[in-house]
Structure 1
Amino acid sequence: MAVSSSRVAVIGAGAAGLATVKALLDAGCAVVAYEKGDRPGGLWVRDNSSGLSPAYASLHLNTSKRRTEFADFPMPADWPDYPSASRVASYLADYAQSFGLIPHIRFGSTVTRVERDRLWAVTTESGDTGRYDAVVVANGHNWDPRYPDPAYPGTFHGTQMHAHDYRTPDVFRDRRVLIVGMGNSAMDIAVDASHVARGPVLLSARRGVHIVPKYLFGRPADATGGALAVLPWRLRQRIAETLLRLAVGTPQRYGLPAPAGGLFQNHPTISDTILHRLTHGEVTPRPGIERLDGERVMFTDGSADPVDVIVWATGYRVSIPFLSPQWLGPDPQQLPLYQRVFHLDDPSLAFVGLMQSTGAALPVVEVQAKLVAAYLSGGYALPGIDEQQHAVQRALRAAIARWGTNARPHMRIDFDRYVADLPREIAAGRNRLAGGGRTFTAEESVV
C-alpha cells in the first residue's frame, strides 16, 4: 500500500462514492465518506432511508453485466446478462464489505455545506464539521426530479407524478395513463402500466430516440461496443445504425417520432419490451403536449385524450446543494473539469460521476476514482493550468459537435474511449511527476 498523509472526504456512498473510497484506501489516504442513507449503494437501493432512490420494482440494468461491472469486482458468472436493481444493490453492498469500506462510511450523515478555508470544512445536518485536505464529490445526479419548465399551459384535474416516485404499477390499475418522455424509465413504466391500465397507455414525446433491444443477434446489444471502440464514432454510428435497422427497423415503424440525432449522439433507450407492447396496441404513441385541459390532454397534432394519471419521465436536475456558486458557477452541469474530474481553480476539489456516459457508469467512476487517488496520494502530476483549460475546451468543442449545445455537452463522455483514456492519463501524470511536475501533498493544501 502507498503511504500518504492526505485526509480526504468523500460525499456519497453510492457506486461512485464506494469506488472512490476503495481507490483512496488502496493509495494509502485516510478517508471519511458521508452518506445520507443508512446503507451503501445509493440510488440502487430501493428502500434506502435517504429517500433519493428512483429504483422501481421492475428496474434492471440496461447495460449488460460484463460492460457494467467494476474491473476490480466482477459480477457473479451465474447472474443473468441484465441483473435486477436489487441484485445490483446487493452487488454494491458486497463490494463495500469485501474491500473493508464500511468502517470508513458515516451513514445517516447529510452534508449541508462544504467550504474552503485553510482546509476543506465539511459540515453535516447535525452541525458536525470535519476538516480535510481534499474533498471528492460523488453524490450522483439522478435524484432531483426535473419537470417541464416552463410548465404546460392549462390545468389538469387528475394525478401527476414524476418517474422518480414510481415503484409498482398498482398506482395505474384501471386508470387512463399518459407517460411523458422517451428515456429508459419512461419505457419501463409504460410497459408496466400497460398490463393494468384502463385502455392503452399513451406515450408522449416531442422528439424521438433510437430504441435498442437488449439483445441483437443473440448477444447483449452492447457486446460489440468494445470491439468497435477503435473506430471513429461516426463510423461506429453507421455500423450500429445499420445493424439496428436490420434487427428491429426504425422507431417510425412503430409509430414513434424520428430520432432527433444519430445513434451515439442522443442517448438511446434500451428496451426489449416496449416495441412488443406498441405492436400489440397496449401502448399508443402520442406527439408532444400542447396544453392540459381538465380531464384531457391536448397534443400538438390537434388530438386529445382523457387521462387520469400523468407520469413525467422528464429526467433530473444536476444538484450539488452543499457547494456554493463560487465552486459551481451558475449551472453545475456546465462546470468545466479537467478529465471530468478536477476543478480547474483547485484540484483538491474533485468530482466522480459528474458525467453522462454513452455506456455504463460503474467502469467510468472506477477509473475516475483511480485518477483521483493517484493525484491525492502524490503519485500523479497534473499538467499546467493552461494545458488543463485547453484540454477542457477541446473536449467541449468535440462534445458540442457530436451532441449539440442542449444535451449537457460539458458532461458528455464516450464510454469506451474515456475508460481507455484515463489509465493513459494516469501514466502520463506519473511521467510528468518524474520529469519534475508537481503533485498534491497535504502540506500544499493550505491556501
Structure 2
Amino acid sequence: MTPPCRVAVIGAGAAGLTAVKALLDAGAEVVAYEKGDRPGGLWARDNASGLSPAYASLHLNTSKGRTQFADFPMPGEWPDYPSADHIAGYLADYAEKFGLTPHLRFHHTVTSVEREEDGGWKVTASAHGRETGDAERYDAVVVANGHNWDPRLPDPAYPGEFTGEQMHAHDYRDAEIFRDERVLVVGMGNSAMDITVDASYVSRGPVLLSARHGVHIVPKYLFGRPSDATGGALAALPWRLRQGLAETMLRVAVGTPQSYGLPAPQGGLFQNHPTISDTILHRLTHGEVVPRPGIERFDGDRVVFTDGTSDAVDVIVWATGYRVSIPFLSERWLGGDPEELPLYKRVFHLDDPSLVFVGLMQSTGAALPVVEAQSKLAAAYLSGSYALPDPPERLRSVARALRYSTARWGRDRRPQMRIDFDDYVADIPKEIKTGRDRLLRGETRPFAPTRGKETPA
C-alpha cells in the first residue's frame, strides 16, 4: 500500500487551518508549524509570534455572511461585523471542532524549505526561538504564512528630518498612545481610517489624514443591508456593469470622497480595494478629522504637504501597508518579488506543484472563503483525486489571468495576486471537477508522494 502523503503546512492562521482540515479530510498526514502560541494567526491579538497587527477596535470589514467558512458558519447571534477577538475565537473553535490542534506545532518558526535531490521536501524549523538542528521530510509543502505582517514604509524616505515620533499601523493597539498629541495618519486603507477615527477622540486638535491618491469609501450598510451583500447580489453581472451600478448606488447613498475633502479615487470601484468605514465620514463632517494631500518633506516638527501647507505634528502613523515576505523560501522558488510569483489558480507553483500556496492573493472580498476553497483544491491534488492540466496549459492559464488582472487593476496594483472574490470562489469547485475528469480520462498523472524517491518528471 502507498503510505499517506505527508504534508508540512506553514502557518496556523485562517489559511493554515483550512489547509490542515482539508488535508486531514483527504487522508494526508499533516504537520503545521506556527510561530505563535495559539491558532488564529494575525487575528490573534497579542499572539506570541509578535506578528499580529490586530488592535482593540478592529472589526471585520466584510460581513459575517460573506466571510464565514462554508464548513463552519459563524453564530447567528453575532453582529454583522464581528470584532477581531470574535474572529480569533472563531478560528480557535474551528481548530477544536475539526480536531486540528494535535497537528499544530506552536512556537515553531520555519527557517528553510528545500527540495531534496531524491524527492520530497526538507523543512527546518526553530523551536521557541532556538535552532533544533532537526529537519523533517515531507512529500509536499503548503505555504500559508500570511502577508499582512511585514510593514511597508515609504521608500525612499521623504526629504528632511522629522523630530516627532513615527510608528507603523502594525504597532498600533489602542488610542491612548495618541492622547493630547497632534496626530498625522498617512494612508487611505481600512486600518488608516480606523486609527484616524480612534485618535480623533483623544488627540490634541483634529487628526490629519494624508494621502496622495484617494479610494472609494463604502459604508458598512447600504439600503439597510451589509454593503458587501448588496455587491454580492450583483455578482452574476460582468464586472464593468457591476462597477457602474455599485458606483451609482454609492453616490446616491453617501456622495463622493471629494465631497468630504478627500482626493478622488484612483480607478473605479472594484478596481482598487475600497475602504469600508461608516465612522470616517462622520468625523470628517464634524471637523475632527482634516484631510491633507501627500507629504512633500519634513522640517523639524512640521510636515510640509504637496500643496505648500504645513502643520506641526507630534506623531506620524504610517498606514502604508505590508510587503509580501516568505523568508524561508530561496530565490529558486520565489524568482524575485513574491508579489509577482505566478501560480496556477493562485495555488500551485509552476515549476513544482508539490509546493502549494494558500492565501497568497489579493481578494476583492473576504479572505476566509477564498483560503477554504484553495485548501480544498490543494488537498484534492495532494490526495491524488484531482489532476492538474499539463504544464503548457498551466502557463497559458496564468498568462490569461495576468492579462485580465492588469487590464482591470493596473500594473502597479499587484496584478499577479489579484482575484475577483465571487468569480474565484465559484471557479474553484468547477476546477476540482474538471481535474477529476482529467484524471478519469487519463490525460495527466495524479500526484504521488516522492519522499525519498526519484522526483517525477
> Which TM-score band applies after superposition, normalised by the shorter structure?
over 0.9
8 Å contact 1:4–1:378 — kept in the other structure?
no
Counterpart mapping for 1:34-53 below 5 A: 34-53=33-52
Amino acid at match of 2:123: V
* Alignment partner, residue 447 of structure 2: 440
Report the Cα distance in structure 2 between the residues aligned to 1:186 and 1:249, rounded to whole angstroms: 20
C-alpha deviations, 1:409-443, integer Å up to 9, x for none? 00000000000000000000000000002110114
Establish whether residue 241 from structure 1 lines up as the match of residue 247 from structure 2.
yes
8 Å contact 2:302–2:312 — kept in the other structure?
yes
8 Å contact 2:231–2:246 — kept in the other structure?
no
Report the Cα distance in structure 2 between the residues aligned to 1:45 and 1:154, rounded to whole angstroms: 37
8 Å contact 2:222–2:230 — kept in the other structure?
no
Report the Cα distance in structure 2 between the residues aligned to 1:60 and 1:337, rounded to whole angstroms: 31
8 Å contact 1:13–1:35 — kept in the other structure?
yes
* Alignment partner, residue 120 of structure 1: 121
Amino acid at match of 1:240: A
Amino acid at match of 1:438: R
Amino acid at match of 2:247: E
RMSD: 0.9
Amino acid at match of 1:271: S
SS at match of 1:155: coil
Amino acid at match of 2:401: A
2:416 to 410, 415, 423: 410
* Alignment partner, residue 59 of structure 2: 60
Report the Cα distance in structure 2 between the residues aligned to 1:88 and 1:395, rounded to whole angstroms: 31
Counterpart mapping for 1:128-147 below 5 A: 128-147=134-153
Amino acid at match of 1:155: E
Amino acid at match of 1:233: W
Which structure 1 segments of 5+ residues have no match? Answer: none
C-alpha deviations, 1:231-269, integer Å up to 9, x for none? 110000000000000000000000000001000001000
Establish whether residue 420 from structure 1 lines up as the match of residue 426 from structure 2.
yes
Counterpart mapping for 1:3-402 below 5 A: 5-117=4-116, 118-125=119-126, 126=131, 127-402=133-408
Amino acid at match of 1:120: W
Q: 1:137 to 1:23 in 2, by over 3 A?
A: same
Report the Cα distance in structure 2 between the residues aligned to 1:47 and 1:312, rounded to whole angstroms: 20
C-alpha deviations, 1:305-345, integer Å up to 9, x for none? 00000000000000000000100011100000000000000
Percent of aligned pairs with the same residue?
76
Report the Cα distance in structure 1 between the residues aligned to 2:85 and 2:196, rounded to whole angstroms: 21
CA-CA distance at 1:5 after TM superposition: 1.6
SS at match of 1:208: coil
CA-CA distance at 1:273 after TM superposition: 0.2
8 Å contact 2:15–2:371 — kept in the other structure?
yes
Report the Cα distance in structure 2 between the residues aligned to 1:219 and 1:128, rounded to whole angstroms: 53
Which structure 2 segments of 5+ residues have no match? Answer: none
8 Å contact 1:4–1:377 — kept in the other structure?
no
Report the Cα distance in structure 2 between the residues aligned to 1:263 and 1:339, rounded to whole angstroms: 24
Worse-superposed segment, 111-120 or 409-418? 111-120
SS at match of 2:108: coil
8 Å contact 2:36–2:49 — kept in the other structure?
yes
Report the Cα distance in structure 2 between the residues aligned to 1:340 and 1:119, rounded to whole angstroms: 22
Report the Cα distance in structure 2 between the residues aligned to 1:446 and 1:150, rounded to whole angstroms: 47
CA-CA distance at 1:4 after TM superposition: 6.6
SS at match of 2:146: coil
C-alpha deviations, 1:218-243, integer Å up to 9, x for none? 11000123321111100000000000
Report the Cα distance in structure 2 between the residues aligned to 1:180 and 1:215, rounded to whole angstroms: 26
8 Å contact 1:210–1:268 — kept in the other structure?
yes
8 Å contact 1:56–1:166 — kept in the other structure?
yes
CA-CA distance at 1:47 after TM superposition: 1.3
8 Å contact 2:108–2:125 — kept in the other structure?
yes
Amino acid at match of 1:367: A
Q: 1:21 to 1:446 in 2, by over 3 A?
A: farther
Provide the TM-score with structure 1 as the length reference: 0.99
Amino acid at match of 1:46: R
Report the Cα distance in structure 2 between the residues aligned to 1:293 and 1:417, rounded to whole angstroms: 48
